[in-house]
Amino acid sequence: MRLSRLKSHIHVFSLVSVLAGVLLIVPFIATFTEAFGGDLSAWNHIREHLLYDTIINTIILVGFVALFSSAIGFYSAYVVERYSFKGRTFFKWGLMLPLALPSYIAAYVYADMLSYTGTVTRFLNGFGVNHGLNVMTLPGAIFIFTFTLFPYAYMLTRASIARQDASVLESATLLNAGPLRTLFKITLPLARPALVAGTFLVVLETLNDYGVVSYFNVRVFSFAIFDAWFRLGDTLAAIRLSYYLLGLVFILIMIERLLRGRRAYTSTSYRPIRRTTLSSHAKRWVPLSLSLIMALGFFIPVLQLLYYAWLTIAGGLSVEILYISLNAISIALVTTVITVAIALMIVNFNRGKASLFKRAILRLTTLGYAIPGAVIAIAVMLFFIDIDRFSAPYREGPTLFLTASLLMLGFAYVLRFMAIAFGSLESAYAKTGEKYTEVSYTLGRSRLYTLLFVDVPLIKGGLISAAIIVFIDIFKELPLTLILRPTNYDTLATMAHRYAREEMIQEASMPSLIMIAIASVLVYLLTHRVKKGRVENAR
């Protein structure tokens, strides 16, 4: 085949891909070798007293978050795509808004609202309910993650349901299947791969979080890793724990593949589904339920933050927050461009057949996404220190050069979020197929030309979506940023964290709201495309 013959040529794309692959692995090799040998006393202490609880808690957390977020994700996706009702267009993109609210911010805000002096408690007191609700528990964490992360499941499932062929559904109706039967026998199985993929993203985000679980004192792996590292002062144990976590992630990957199944569904013709109107009974509580979901995942915390911001604005706004916002935006923007560009080159290099290399890269990047930010940070920091020390004799200036710069942080971001860009581009390419690319090669165009002027316009939608999601994730990122940033440098996330950590929730509201505002605009852009001046909903 044309493509495979071209593939055998050495090309800048292949070099970039291999280089990226190597750079992804090397930091982990550094930590891998450290994980064995050394003083085991702290590890034994952990193993004896804490490991069992950590594993159980993590499984419970992940299990329930997966269950609830997939349920909410599927329910909302199904209802929004298959039925028409008042406000449907708003809900369609509005249900994505919780993505703009970082989980750790939601955690601080809900904890505050449910504390003695909190809004919700006072509200309940008004009804004579004096028994408080404690959200800072494992169930509380499940709640927070479910409602701030379900959009990943929703997003992928909705896109999948939207593509389902009407003829399949019409056949079901002709064969006398009621709506419920159709739902469980047809819609759900067809959407299963997307639902599983989306829920998998939710699970990975949950595993990675440190802010929520540390604040709520929920002993899961990310917390245990930080705890071993800090409280027991043992980097070794921390690295060992992260390998346990990696093991868990591998198991999850297996489960995901199993659940996704190998079957592919195609139809010879394609007709988009027509939406049914809801019964008058359902007409009331469907929008209500969706509003509740959006309120819990977005509006309630945001309104609380707006109130706090209003309280603190009286004290004046500092110029500092402007610089910090610019920092956050600029680094997220640039790193997004680099991440998407590299992902594009790697995907392009391995088009067509499922190659071993491509699968290896996919596994590696998923690793980068699954491992807690702190561990990636250690690995990257050690890696760059080694580079700096190695190159120091050959250049002028201080020894720690790259390590003191923003480059290290940017590199870590790319490492961590490559998976998202990669996956998104893969599916975009899968949709368009190879024929246009092949035609371009047949006509004698170079690889670069084809990429820029044939492929990119074809997958433009997927590219933009990938870029937006990666940007939002980098923008919200906390643990990596805290550890690897240079002096005198803060992002909105670190600023909000700094205040929240000092329990100054009100002061944390300003940076949080700016983050949420910018992210919300991006979510809107993600779900609407501006086409020649008209704004239309993206499919």
Partner 1 sequence: MKHLLMLLGILTLVFSLSACTFGVDSDSEENITVYTDRHYDTDRDLYDTFEEETGIKVNILSDDADRLINKLENEGEDTPADILVLADAGRLHRAKERDILQSVQSDTLNANIPENYRDVDSEWFGLTRRARVMVYHPDRVDESELSTYEALAGDEWEGRVVTRSSTNIYNQSLIASLIAINGEDETKSFIEGLVSNFARKPSGNDRDQAKAVMKGTGDVAILNTYYMGRMAYSSDEYERDVAETLEVYFPNQETTGTHVNVSGAGVAKHTDNQEGAVRFIEFLSSTQAQESYASANYEYPINPDVSAHELLQGWGTFTTQDLDLSELGVHSETAAIIMDESGWE
Min CB(246)–partner 1 separation in Å: 21
Which of 399, 370, 367 has its CA nearest to residue 386? Answer: 399
Exposure b/e, 296-329, CB count within 10 A at least 16 = b: bbbebbbebbeebbeebeeeeeeeeeeebbebbb
Stretch in the footprint of partner 1 (CB under 8 A) among 1-9, 62-70, 111-119, 417-425: 111-119
Query: Closest distance between partner 1 and the C-beta of residue 400, in Å?
Result: 4
**Which residues, 503 to 522, sit near partner 1 by CB under 8 A?**
503, 506
Confirm or reject binding of residue 23 to partner 1 (CB under 8 A). no
Chain mean position to CA 403: 26
What's the closest the beta carbon of residue 148 comes to partner 1, in angstroms? Answer: 20
Q: Does 165 bind partner 1 (CB under 8 A)?
A: no
Nearer to partner 1, 503 or 536 (CB): 503
CA–CA separation, 219 and 210 (whole Å): 10
Q: Is 349 within 8 Å of 14 (Cβ atoms)?
A: yes
CA dist., res. 67 & res. 257, Å (int): 17
Q: Minimum distance from CB of 496 to partner 1 (Å)?
A: 13
Closest CB to partner 1 among residues 125, 446: 125
Closest to partner 1 by CB, 166 or 407: 407
- Looking at beta carbons only, is 49 or 271 nearer to partner 1? 49
Specify the DSSP class assigned to residue 528: E
Q: How many residues of this chain interact with partner 1, rule: CB under 8 A? A: 65
Residues 235-264 that bind partner 1 (CB under 8 A): 235
Can you tell me the distance from the alpha carbon of 500 to that of 353, in angstroms, rounded to the nearest whole number?
Answer: 49
Sole residue written with tokens 């803060």: 490
Least distance in Å: CB of 116 to partner 1? 4
By beta-carbon proximity to partner 1, the closer residue of 153 and 379 is 379
Question: Per-residue DSSP letters for 263-309?
Answer: -----SS--BPPPEEPPHHHHHHHHHHHHHHHIIIIIHHHHHHHHHH
In 3D space, the residue among 500, 463, 496, 464 whose CA is nearest the CA of residue 477 turns out to be 496
Does position 337 interact with partner 1 (CB under 8 A)? The reply is yes
Q: How far is the CB of 307 from partner 1 (least distance, A)?
A: 11
Q: Does 454 bind partner 1 (CB under 8 A)?
A: no
Which of the stretches 185-193, 331-339, 348-356, 425-433 binds partner 1 when contact is defined by CB under 8 A?
331-339
Comparison of 69 and 440: residue with beta carbon closer to partner 1: 440
Residue from the set 312, 325, 427, 432 that interacts with partner 1 by CB under 8 A = 312
Q: In the complex, what is the shortest distance from the CB of residue 519 to partner 1, in angstroms, rounded to a whole number?
A: 19
Q: Provide, rounded to whole angstroms, the least separation between the CB of residue 424 and partner 1.
A: 18
* Among positions 334, 387, 525, 538, the unique one binding partner 1 when judged by CB under 8 A: 334
Q: Find all residues with CB under 8 Å of 241, minimum gap 6, and list them.
A: 46, 54, 221, 224, 225, 228
Report in angstroms how near the CB of residue 216 gets to partner 1 at its nearest: 6
Which of residues 2, 359, 486, 536 is near partner 1 by CB under 8 A?
Answer: 486
At position 413, the amino acid (one-letter code) is Y
State the CB neighbour count (10 A cutoff) for residue 499: 20
State the DSSP H helix or E strand holding residue 173, giving kind and residue range, or none if neither.
helix 166-174
Other Cβ atoms within 10 Å of 174 Cβ, number: 8
Between 69 and 103, whose beta carbon lies closer to partner 1? 103
- Mapped onto helix, strand or coil, the DSSP state of residue 537 is strand
**Angstrom distance (rounded) from CA 539 to CA 536:** 9
Binding piece for partner 1, criterion CB under 8 A, among 4-12, 82-90, 231-239, 360-368: 231-239
Any contact of residue 489 with partner 1 (CB under 8 A)? yes
Please pick, from the candidates 217, 276, 277, 391, the single residue that binds partner 1 as defined by CB under 8 A. 217
Smallest separation (angstroms) from partner 1 to the CB of 230: 4
Question: What are the residues whose beta carbons fall under 8 Å from the beta carbon of 420, sequence distance 6 or more?
Answer: 201, 369, 466, 469, 470, 473
DSSP-derived 3-state class of residue 529: strand
In degrees, to the nearest 5, what angle opens at C-alpha 204 toward C-alphas 328 and 62?
130
State the Cα–Cα distance between residues 326 and 282, nearest whole angstrom.
46
**CA-based radius of gyration for the chain:** 24
Q: Whose Cβ is closer to partner 1: residue 42's or residue 202's?
A: 42
Residue 89 or 137: the one with the smaller Cβ distance to partner 1 is 137
Q: Is the dihedral of CA 261, 267, 271, 277 positive or negative?
A: negative
Interface residues for partner 1 in 382-411 (CB under 8 A)? 382, 385, 388-389, 397-407, 410
By beta-carbon proximity to partner 1, the closer residue of 115 and 325 is 115
CA–CA distance from 499 to each of 110, 133, 229, 308, 496 (Å)?
16, 24, 23, 13, 5
Binding site for partner 1 (CB under 8 A): 45, 49-50, 111, 115-117, 121-122, 132, 134, 136-137, 215-217, 219, 227, 229-233, 235, 311-312, 315, 318, 330-331, 333-334, 337-338, 378, 381-382, 385, 388-389, 397-407, 410, 460, 482-483, 485-489, 498, 501-503, 506
